[in-house]
Structure 1
Amino acid sequence: MNLELALRMCEVAVREARRLGALVSVAVVDGGGHLVAFQRMDGAGIAGPELAPAKAYTAVALRRDTAELAPLAVPGGELYGLPPRFACLPGGVPLWDADTVVGGVGVSGGSPEQDVACARLAASLWEDLR
């Protein structure tokens, strides 16, 4: 993951959010979960700057889309009790290179479906350019 690609991924997600009528924050992290790029649309909610990086981090750490995690994080679920840094909300997507997670993208601020659509579109840019 490099800054140029991460910024392009943010731009793709923001463009899709505009098309969908959502106001979002977008974060791209590297394979260690460290923030590489972040963008917040004018007027986006106050939670996005916390949740978008958390979704991206969670996708990297758990190696799966965060949209799959909510049922696993309920009491009695295999992920119940995760630390607060983890966000088991839709909108986080891991970025793969063969069998290695090399980064993640997180989107927050729209509906769950909008967040997922924006994150997946940004991830598709990664897949096309890697």
Structure 2
Amino acid sequence: MEINLNIAEKISEKCLEKAEKINVPMIISIVGDDGRLIIFKKMDGALPVSIKISQAKAYTAYALKMRSDKLGELSQPGKMLYGIDTVCDNIVLFGGGFPLKVNGEVIGALGVSGGSVEEDMSVAEAGVKFFNNRYTNSL
């Protein structure tokens, strides 16, 4: 299975629904199994800085096959990935980036930016939950 435009569109719509529900303008980025952008959605009023951040969160989750908030934990001083953000471009150490997995294999990733870290994660989780319920349970 791969994340195609149709699937990315559906995931992003679930994220946008959640962002509208909490009344926070967000930017949604989804990358495929090559780490390249498939879809980008920008709500009216979203912070311009969130354009790059949402894409970097998606890339981080894809490239390291883990949530960006988990990477943040693993990259604190004294931890095994300390300094990763200084040697690799486009790495984000805070929440909002989630890998999209099927049978344990990362087939893409989602990045959300525009609100607080908690809001970004909540919106991203809505997209991941939809993906998991719709696509991974039917395989």
When normalised by structure 1's length, the TM-score is: 0.92
Residues 1-130 of structure 1: pairs in structure 2 closer than 5 A? 1-82=3-84, 83-130=88-135
Query: Structure 1: which 5+ runs fail to align?
Result: none
Deviation (angstroms), 1:38: 0.6
RMSD: 1.3
Q: Deviations over 1:41-99 (max 9, x none)?
A: 11100111101111111111111111222232234332222213111110011111102
Cα distance in structure 2, aligned partners of 1:79 and 1:15: 34
Structure 1 residue runs of 4+, over 6 Å off?
A: none
Q: Deviations over 1:100-127 (max 9, x none)?
A: 1001111001111111111111011211
| AA in 2 matched with 1:61 | A
| AA in 2 matched with 1:110 | G
SS of residue in 2 equivalent to 1:67: helix
When normalised by structure 2's length, the TM-score is: 0.87
Q: Does the 8 Å CA contact 1:56/1:106 hold for their aligned counterparts? A: yes
Q: Does the 8 Å CA contact 1:7/1:38 hold for their aligned counterparts? A: no
Deviation (angstroms), 1:22: 1.0
- Which entry has the higher C-alpha Rg, 1 or 2? 2
Percent identity (aligned): 33
Cα distance in structure 1, aligned partners of 2:116 and 2:24: 8
Cα distance in structure 2, aligned partners of 1:110 and 1:65: 17
Q: Deviations over 1:7-40 (max 9, x none)?
A: 1111111110111121110001112211100101
Cα distance in structure 2, aligned partners of 1:71 and 1:125: 26
Cα distance in structure 2, aligned partners of 1:91 and 1:108: 7
